[in-house]
Amino acid sequence: LSYAEFAAALGQPRAVRAAASICARNALALFVPCHRVLRSDGSLGGFAWGLEVKRSLLAREASA
């Protein structure tokens, strides 16, 4: 899911930055998986606990 797709799913397709901001402030990120949201170009974007944690979570899920 990209940030653009996430914004569209929220009914606000032009609010990509706001969608990314929602993910960045997600206090329950380990339970509500905002770490799975990527930029439209496939790059990781940001994550409240850093990109290494995001990479680690995605890698763990990919191997499961």
Compute the distance between CA of residue 46 and CA of residue 54 in angstroms, rounded to an integer. 8
Q: From the candidates 16, 19, 23, 34, give the one annotated as an active-site residue.
A: 34
23 included as an active-site residue: no
Q: Quick check: 24 and 48 in contact, CB under 8 A?
A: yes
Tell me the HSE value of 49 on the side-chain side, using a 13 A CA sphere.
14
Tell me which residues are annotated as active site.
Answer: 34
